[in-house]
């Protein structure tokens, strides 16, 4: 008999050996992966899952979850990103493995704060809910047995005795239906929602749940387990954060922007300074329009505003010379004399173009970065207006920009739900008079590019194109997968293996 040590098992990577790990396309993610994976795979799995969860979030806000459009779109995304999408698929091993590993990687990134945990939990639950609903009855039964959620079935005799009570307690179940359906005795903690709303019969500390409500129970169970697991992983935070292999990757994953970084200016020099005023009204996202207006009005912007707006302008194609001219002209009108400008502000502009100091060519800020870091204070105009402005003031501003009242209401609703980028998408739709923005907004420069494309007739405005969403994604995967200014450790090679991460997921 072979005594295989744990280390040896970890290195076994013949695909056939591991298939038994994933008997179902769905899982509760109870056991962390124990294999070693390469840094490249680690990163790409994580990014793909993050993309998936963001789509889950967007779809959840834009569509009712049980509708066909929701289901189709989600299935498309799952298929595209190579996650398990069909419950019956037999040769799903690679997808299931990716599903397993990517979930655990994101746990490391998203356990770090209450907000992150809440977001991750919500999206994972929605994803699970969809995948569970796709199972056939037979597969569902098998899955429940697999995760030890086979609740005690109520005997026929007991059911007959309680028939009237069961019928009166369970909405939608007439007496004949009660007789034909299976009922299960479920502990109150597992059936919280049904218990709370009095939609089940409750006796002696148990809820009597009909088979058709079992998915709510399973979902609840999943939520509880994942919530606990996240809290547990959070306790390993100090060691996670000091792990040199992970720290640069995870640090930005939860704040990451997973698209083009607009540092490569393909349209450099194609914008003239005279155009900026009109462009700010037509094609700038609200944050940049606001910054531009503030600059024109007060002939000055503070540091946060200069960075956010300055880098944006670089991203839309302003050359260094144009930028210097632009800022200088404006600041001089604000009583900054030319000398002072050249000595101070000019240096800083050259710096952000990578021409000074350590010559880092700074990349324009993504929406995520603008929303989540460096909130504006009194006298600042940077940040995301949907996130940082007082809703009343935001409303007035939108009114002054002639946005129709119904549109303003929709925007404010999204803001209330904390969907800032979706609010900006709505702003795009209203200012460009299209029904569907056609892409997922993640970056102010993306807003600008798409707007220009639309206005120059490069795209069909009124039809909802799923392909334009796809092409955006293709762009993302073809371009470098650089997380915003993420330095990967110069010591690691692409083949470096990551081992021993499962310690972060287990209780000692």
Q: How far is the CB of 259 from another protein (least distance, A)?
A: 34
Considering only the stretches 94-102, 153-161, 186-194, 381-389, report the one whose residues sit in contact with another protein under the rule CB under 8 A.
Answer: 186-194
If one asks whether residue 508 binds another protein (CB under 8 A), the answer comes out as no
The residue from 169, 322, 363, 446 that contacts another protein (CB under 8 A) is 169
Site pattern 201..240 for another protein (x: CB under 8 A): xxxxxx----------------------------------
> How many CB atoms lie under 10 A from the CB of residue 174?
9
Q: How far is the CB of 193 from another protein (least distance, A)?
A: 8
Cα 265 versus chain centre, distance: 26
- The alpha carbons of the chain give a radius of gyration, in whole angstroms, of 27
Nearer to another protein, 29 or 201 (CB): 201
Annotated binding-site residue? 111: no
Nearer to another protein, 54 or 185 (CB): 185
Considering only the stretches 95-103, 137-145, 162-170, 477-485, report the one whose residues sit in contact with another protein under the rule CB under 8 A.
Answer: 162-170
Provide the token pair at 29.
Answer: 């993610």
DSSP string, 96-130: HHHHHHHHHHHHHHHTSSHHHHHHHHHHHHHHHHH
Nearer to another protein, 42 or 206 (CB): 206
Site pattern 120..159 for another protein (x: CB under 8 A): ----------------------------------------
If one asks whether residue 198 binds another protein (CB under 8 A), the answer comes out as yes
Query: What are the beta bridge partners of residue 114?
Result: none
N-to-C CA span, the chain: 30
Provide the token pair at 355.
Answer: 């021409």
Residue 339 CA to residue 153 CA, distance in Å, equals 84
Q: How far is the CB of 118 from another protein (least distance, A)?
A: 14
Annotated binding-site residue? 367: yes
Nearer to another protein, 196 or 266 (CB): 196
Taking CA atoms, 508 is separated from 19, 182, 504, in Å, by: 28, 41, 10
Q: How far is the CB of 221 from another protein (least distance, A)?
A: 13
Considering only the stretches 191-199, 259-267, 288-296, 458-466, report the one whose residues sit in contact with another protein under the rule CB under 8 A.
Answer: 191-199
Residue 395 CA to residue 390 CA, distance in Å, equals 9
Q: Is 288 exposed, middle or buried (0-12, 13-18, 19+ CB in 10 A)?
A: buried
Residue 385 CA to residue 373 CA, distance in Å, equals 13
Residue 153 CA to residue 160 CA, distance in Å, equals 13
Q: How many residues bind another protein (CB under 8 A)?
A: 18
The residue from 85, 110, 130, 195 that contacts another protein (CB under 8 A) is 195
Q: How far is the CB of 317 from another protein (least distance, A)?
A: 47
Nearer to another protein, 203 or 416 (CB): 203
Taking CA atoms, 15 is separated from 4, 46, 499, 500, in Å, by: 18, 21, 18, 20
The residue from 86, 121, 159, 165 that contacts another protein (CB under 8 A) is 165
The residue from 12, 30, 88, 168 that contacts another protein (CB under 8 A) is 168
Q: How far is the CB of 198 from another protein (least distance, A)?
A: 5
Q: How far is the CB of 497 from another protein (least distance, A)?
A: 33
Nearer to another protein, 218 or 370 (CB): 218
Q: How far is the CB of 223 from another protein (least distance, A)?
A: 10
Annotated binding-site residue? 167: no
If one asks whether residue 196 binds another protein (CB under 8 A), the answer comes out as yes
If one asks whether residue 183 binds another protein (CB under 8 A), the answer comes out as no
Chain positions 266 to 305 lying near another protein, rule: CB under 8 A, are: none
Query: What are the beta bridge partners of residue 202?
Result: 207
Query: Which residues, at least 6 apart from 492, have a Cβ–Cβ distance to it below 8 Å?
Result: 39, 245
The residue from 144, 149, 167, 372 that contacts another protein (CB under 8 A) is 167
DSSP conformation class of 456 = T
DSSP string, 360-401: --PPPPPHHHHHHSS---TT---S-HHHHS-HHHHHHHHHHT
Query: What are the beta bridge partners of residue 37?
Result: 498
Query: Which residues, at least 6 apart from 58, have a Cβ–Cβ distance to it below 8 Å?
Result: 422, 440
∠ CA 493-505-224 to the nearest 5 degrees?
135
Q: How far is the CB of 306 from another protein (least distance, A)?
A: 36
> How many CB atoms lie under 10 A from the CB of residue 4?
10
**190: nearest Cα among 143, 166, 223, 228:** 223
Provide the token pair at 215.
Answer: 């998915």
Q: How far is the CB of 201 from another protein (least distance, A)?
A: 7
Nearer to another protein, 43 or 213 (CB): 213
In the complex, which residues of this chain contact another protein (CB under 8 A)?
165, 167-169, 188-189, 192-193, 195-198, 201-206
List the binding residues for [4Fe-4S] cluster.
Answer: 287, 367, 384, 424
Please enumerate, by residue number, every residue annotated as part of a binding site: 287, 367, 384, 424
């Amino acid at each position: 008999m072979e005594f295989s040590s744990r280390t040896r098992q970890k290195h076994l990577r013949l695909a056939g050996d591991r298939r038994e790990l994933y008997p179902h396309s769905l899982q509760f993610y109870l056991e962390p992966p124990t294999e070693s994976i390469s840094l490249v795979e680690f990163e790409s799995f994580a990014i793909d899952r993050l993309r998936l969860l963001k789509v889950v979030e967007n779809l959840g806000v834009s569509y009712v979850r049980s509708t066909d459009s929701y289901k189709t779109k989600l299935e498309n995304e799952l298929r595209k990103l190579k996650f398990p999408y069909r419950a019956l698929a037999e040769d799903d091993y690679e997808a299931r493995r990716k599903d397993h590993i990517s979930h655990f990687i994101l746990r490391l990134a998203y356990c770090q704060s209450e907000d992150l945990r809440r977001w991750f939990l919500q999206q994972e639950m929605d994803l699970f809910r969809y995948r569970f609903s796709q199972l056939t009855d037979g597969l569902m039964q098998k899955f429940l047995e697999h995760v030890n959620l086979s609740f005690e079935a109520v005997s026929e005799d007991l059911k007959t005795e309680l028939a009237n009570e069961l019928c009166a307690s369970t909405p939608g179940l007439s007496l004949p239906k009660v007789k034909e359906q299976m009922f299960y005795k479920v502990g109150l903690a597992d059936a919280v929602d049904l218990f709370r709303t009095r939609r089940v019969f409750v006796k002696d500390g148990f809820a009597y749940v009909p088979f058709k409500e079992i998915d709510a129970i399973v979902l609840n169970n999943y939520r509880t387990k994942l919530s606990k697991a996240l809290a547990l992983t959070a306790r390993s935070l100090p060691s996670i954060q000091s792990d040199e292999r992970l720290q640069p990757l995870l640090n930005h994953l939860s704040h990451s922007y997973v698209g083009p970084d607009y540092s490569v200016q393909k349209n450099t020099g194609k914008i003239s300074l005279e155009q900026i005023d009109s462009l700010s009204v037509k094609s700038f996202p609200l944050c940049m329009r606001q910054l531009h207006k503030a600059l024109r009005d007060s002939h000055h912007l503070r540091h946060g505003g200069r960075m956010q707006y300055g880098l944006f302008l670089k991203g839309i194609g302003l050359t260094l010379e144009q930028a210097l001219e632009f800022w200088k002209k404006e600041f001089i009108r604000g009583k900054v004399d030319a000398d002072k400008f050249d000595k101070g502000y000019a240096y800083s502009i050259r710096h952000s173009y990578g021409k000074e100091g350590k010559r880092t060519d700074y990349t324009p800020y993504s929406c995520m970065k603008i929303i989540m870091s460096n909130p504006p204070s009194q006298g600042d105009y940077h940040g995301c207006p949907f996130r940082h402005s007082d809703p009343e003031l935001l409303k007035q501003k939108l009114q002054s920009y002639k946005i129709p009242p119904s549109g303003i209401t929709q925007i404010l609703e999204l803001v209330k739900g904390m969907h800032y980028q979706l609010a900006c998408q709505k702003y795009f739709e209203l200012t460009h008079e299209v029904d569907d923005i056609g892409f997922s907004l993640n970056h102010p420069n993306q807003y600008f590019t798409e707007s220009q494309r639309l206005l120059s007739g490069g795209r069909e405005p009124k039809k909802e194109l799923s392909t334009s969403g796809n092409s955006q994604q293709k762009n993302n995967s073809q371009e470098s997968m650089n997380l915003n200014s993420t330095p990967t450790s110069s010591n690691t090679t692409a083949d470096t293996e990551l081992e021993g991460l499962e310690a972060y997921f287990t209780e000692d």
